[in-house]
Chains A and B, each alone.
Chain A
Amino acid sequence: MRKEPIDPAGLDWTRVSPKYLTVRLLGWAVGTIINVAIFSIPLVLRLTDVWSGFPPMWVVWALPIGTLILSIWRGILLPRQVRAIGYAERNEDLLIRTGVFYQRTMVVPYGRMQYVDVAVGPIERAFGLCTLKMHTASPGTNASIPGLPADEGARLREQLSARGEAKLAGL
C-alpha cells in the first residue's frame, strides 16, 4: 500500500477484507452490463433501421463504447479504491480514510457518536461481510466502513458503543 500524503504518520490502518473487492467487482460488473445495455439501445434501433438516418452512425457507436471504456477505467481503479479504505481505532476517536484521487480522512470522536448501524446486503452476506456506519449529530459525518468481516463488524459495534457510553458528551 502506497503511503498517501495525508495519511498520518505512526498509525496502523486496518484495511477492509479483500473479499470486499469481490463484492465491489460483482456490483461493478452488473452495473457495467446494465449501463452498456442501456446505451446500446440507439445502436440496436439504428442497426435494425427502426431509426434511419439520424442520429449519425458514429454517435450511436460512440455511446456504448464510451460507456464501456469509462466502466473499465472504474473497474481498474476498484482494487486501489478498496485497498485505500482503512480505519484506525485510537483512544479518543476513530479514524477512517477513503479515496485514491479524492482522498478523505475523517476522525469521529467516540463521545460524539449518537448511534452505530451495521448493515448487511444480500451479496455482502454471501461473503460474510457487513457495513458499519456511525452517526453523529451532524449529517456531514458520513462515516461508514464497508466490507468488514461480520465478526469484526460486531466486535467494532460493541466496542464503539461501549466507548461512546464511557465518553458520552451530549451534543
Chain B
Amino acid sequence: MTTVSTAPVPASSRGMIARIEPFMGVLGPLVMIVMIAAFMGVFEPTRYFRLSNMNQILLDAALYMPMAMAMTFVITQRGIDLSVGSVAALSAIIVAFLMKQYGFPAWVCVFIALGMGGVMGLINGLVITRLKVPDLIGTLAMDLVYRGFALVLAKGLVLARFPDLITEIGRGQMFGILPTPVVIGLITMIAGYFILRNTHFGRYSIAIGSNPEASEMTGVSVDRHKVYAYTLMGAMAALAGLLLMGKLNAIQATSAPYFNLHVIAAVVVGGTSLFGGRPSIVGSLAGVLLLSMMINALVTLRIEFFWQSVASGVVIILSVAAYAWLQKKDRDGAGSIGAALANPDNRKILALALTFVAVLAVLMIAGALLATAPAASG
C-alpha cells in the first residue's frame, strides 16, 4: 500500500491574519468591547461603570440572547429571519390576552407563548421550504402578517400589570444577585452551544450552509432541518417576547420593532458568516453584549435615541465588510487610491457620484437663492 504523506502548511508562513482567523468571531467583538470600555472610561467613567449600569447592560443583552442563539443556526444555514420582532410581539400579545381576559395561569401561558412562537416559526419554515419563497421575502411578508394580527388583536391597547411569574422572568433576581433574564439568556446560549456541537441538527446546519447540494447527496434532509431552525427561531423570539413583557410589565402590538436587525447584527458581528457554514455561538454572545454596551454608551452620553439606529447599521456594515476582507485571499494590489482609479469601472462610478454631488449642490444653491419666507405647515 502506498502511503500518501501530507505536507502541512507551516503555521508561521500563513501570516498573522490567517492564524487568528478562526478566533475572529470572538476576538472582533472583544476588541470592540474593549474599545467602547476604553472610550467610556475616558468620557463617562463614573456613570457608565456604575454597578447599576452594568446590570442594565446585562438586562438589555439578556433580551437578545435567546434570539441570537437561534439566529446563529438560521444564518449558518444561509437563511435569514426578518419576522422575529413580530413573532415576539404577537405571541406576547396572545398570552397577555389569555392572562388578562380569560384568567389563564401564568405558567401555562409561558409555555403557550413558546408553543405559539414555535408554530409561527414553523410556518415561516414551511413557507420557505414548501412554497419555495426565498427566505428574505418569505419572512419579511410573514413579519407583516404577524404584526398585522398583533394590531388586529390589541388595536391600540397597552396590556399591562401581569402576574408575578411574568415580571419575575423579565426583571427578577435569582440567588439574590443574578437577574433572572440573564440566567435564562445564558442557559439558552449554553444549550445552543451544545446543540451545535453535539446534535444532528447542529452538524447538519453547518453542512447545509456550507454545501446544500452535497448535504442533499449525502442523505441530509435539508428542508426538514431548515424547518427546525426556523421553528427554534420562532420559539426563541417568543421567549424574548416574554422577557420583554416581563421587563416592562406591559406589552402592545407595536412592541419589539427593532428586534430583527439588532439580532442579525449581533450574530454577524459575532463572526457567524452570512454566507453560511461558519457559526459562532460564543461570538453571538459577544455580539449581543457589544451591541448592548454600545447602545447603553449612546444613552449614557445623552445622544438622541434615534442615533442608535444609525450606530447599529454602521456596526453591521463595518463588521461584515471586515469579515469579507478577511475572507479575501488576494489582498495585494488593493489599498492605494491611485490603483483603484486605474480601473475604468471605478472611474465611472466616481464620475456618477461626482455628478450627483454636483447636481445636488446646484439644486441646493438654486433652492437657497429662490427661497421665500416659509409658510407654517398644515
The answer to whether A binds B is: no
